[in-house]
């Protein structure tokens, strides 16, 4: 049985929450390996809606162990608040069911403050961050000044780390003309949550290796999507971490060979939140229709998503870079009743054909999509659970996507309900 990594193949918001929940029934362990509480997953189970940000989707399933890996930047206040909220919905979370990497870096109250101050200073050149401190926390991590979960257990080390942190950030805040962060206040806030967070801390890499050796099936859950990857996405309009499947190993401490199947979650059209290039965006009635039908609002931020036609060039690139074995195609039902559908099958930049999404900022902004037009379908696909329930033109659309992105459809989702899923190939069976 293969361990499975689930990643987004577009700009995030592809419907990973439902698919991960669907797969978690077959898994023993669910692992988050990158990102922070800027990610959002919505699960609908037996008519009850769960909105998760930091917690892995497996937490709502009894008998599963959830893991937050070292590649995640953890906001303790957000995490504990989410634990309390889920407990209020009848889901008990304990140190036996949730393990947080003791070497994971923390998001502290100063990080959202910095995020806002820096974005304001950028003016018209804003990146469009969620303002939750994710970027500044990752900056601290790579600059080797981060405070990690394990530091909470050692007051002397913690004070030294806070001094080192504020030496840098207060100088930056002074330069921005913003108020500096008070050390005593920051330490007091950290101490308020230390005793609640530390029981969840564990050497996750060791625990996962033992689980793998014991034959447990592990599901690695990514956040955001391939085109928001800090290296391979639409830089600088990206997130602050690597979002592709290669990060599942580094971000959780398992060997790369432990990941057997990579499932790319792929929406049947395209959306993105915030600033940045979007070749197939439809700032018209089609874009409005997709947004309304697909309820395209961010789980975490509530921001309206930009909408457009399916971009096969972009997804094919995500398949190649991310080693995607197969895709889970979501929200096919949103396209029901649209008479004529378009799929981007190529790019032009300054009149020249371009077989890939370019790396250069100017080139990305000047990408022109080349479309192929396909016939739509009138029959509803919502709730379909077999190919036989799909109209022939919908099947033709799915098959053409497979050809263009050079990857097979392993699952097809036809509504937010977890059972409204057509299984073509079980990723855990590989």
Non-local (6+) Cβ contacts of 73 within 8 A are 35, 36, 104, 105, 106, 107, 134, 137, 138, 141, 241
Which ranges of 72-219 would DSSP assign to H, the alpha helix? 76-87, 110-122, 134-142, 155-176, 183-197, 204-213
Q: How far is residue 224 from each of residues 14, 84, 244, measured CA to CA in Å?
A: 8, 24, 9
CA atoms within 13 A on the CB side of 349: 16
What is the number of residues in the chain?
430
Answer whether 381's CB lies under 8 Å from 332's CB.
yes
Q: Which residue has the tokens 């080192």?
A: 164
The span from the CA of 298 to the CA of 14, in Å, is 11
Q: Catalytic: which of 21, 28, 37, 41? A: 41
Which ranges of 267-391 would DSSP assign to H, the alpha helix? 285-293, 312-322, 361-365
Which DSSP category does 281 fall into? Answer: B
CA angle 393/398/399 to nearest 5° reads 95
The span from the CA of 258 to the CA of 212, in Å, is 8
- Check if 28 is active-site: no
- Coil vs helix vs strand at 284: coil
- Check if 111 is active-site: no
Which stretch of DSSP H or E encloses residue 342?
Answer: strand 340-349
290-322 burial by CB neighbour count: b if 16+ within 10 A, else e? bbebbebebebbeeebbbbbbbbbbbbbbbebb
Please state whether beta strands 98-101 and 65-68 pair in parallel, antiparallel, or not at all (unpaired): parallel
Residues known to be catalytic? 13, 41
């Amino acid at each position: 049985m293969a361990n499975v990594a689930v990643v987004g193949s577009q700009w995030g918001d592809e419907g990973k929450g439902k698919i991960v929940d669907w797969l978690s029934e077959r898994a023993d362990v669910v692992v988050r390996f990158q990102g922070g509480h800027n990610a959002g997953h919505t699960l609908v189970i037996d008519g009850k809606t769960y909105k998760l940000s930091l917690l892995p989707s497996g937490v709502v399933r009894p008998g599963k162990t959830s893991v937050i890996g070292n590649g995640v930047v953890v906001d303790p206040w957000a995490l504990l608040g989410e634990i309390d909220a889920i407990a209020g919905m009848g889901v008990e979370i304990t140190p036996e069911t949730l393990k947080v990497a003791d070497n994971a870096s923390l998001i502290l109250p100063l990080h959202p403050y910095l995020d806002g101050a820096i974005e304001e200073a950028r003016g018209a050149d804003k990146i469009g961050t969620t303002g939750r401190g994710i970027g500044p926390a990752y900056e601290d991590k790579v600059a080797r000044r981060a405070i990690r979960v394990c530091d909470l257990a050692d007051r002397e080390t913690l004070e030294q780390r806070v001094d080192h942190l504020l030496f840098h950030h207060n100088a930056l805040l002074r330069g921005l003309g913003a108020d500096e962060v008070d050390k005593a206040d920051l330490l007091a806030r950290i101490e308020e949550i230390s005793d609640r967070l530390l029981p969840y801390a564990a050497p996750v890499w060791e625990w996962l290796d033992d689980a793998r050796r014991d034959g447990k099936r592990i599901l690695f859950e990514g956040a955001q999507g391939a085109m928001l990857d800090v290296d391979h996405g639409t830089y600088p309009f990206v997130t602050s971490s690597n979002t592709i499947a290669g990060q599942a190993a580094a971000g959780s401490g398992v060997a790369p060979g432990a990941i057997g199947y990579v499932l790319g979650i792929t929406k049947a059209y395209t959306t993105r939140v915030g600033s940045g290039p979007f070749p197939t965006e439809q700032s018209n009635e089609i874009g409005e229709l997709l947004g309304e039908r697909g309820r395209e609002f961010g789980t975490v931020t509530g921001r309206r998503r930009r909408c457009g036609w399916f971009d096969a060039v972009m997804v094919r690139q995500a398949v190649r870079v991310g080693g995607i074995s197969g895709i889970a195609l979501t929200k096919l039902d949103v396209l029901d009743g649209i008479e004529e559908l378009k799929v981007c099958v190529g790019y032009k930049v300054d009149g020249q054909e371009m077989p890939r999404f370019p790396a250069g900022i100017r080139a990305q902004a000047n990408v022109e999509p080349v479309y192929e037009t396909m016939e739509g379908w009138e029959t509803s696909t919502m709730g379909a659970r077999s190919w036989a329930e799909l109209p022939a033109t919908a099947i033709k659309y799915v098959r053409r996507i497979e050809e263009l992105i050079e990857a097979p459809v392993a699952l097809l989702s036809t509504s937010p309900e977890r059972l409204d899923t057509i299984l073509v190939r079980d990723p855990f069976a590989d």
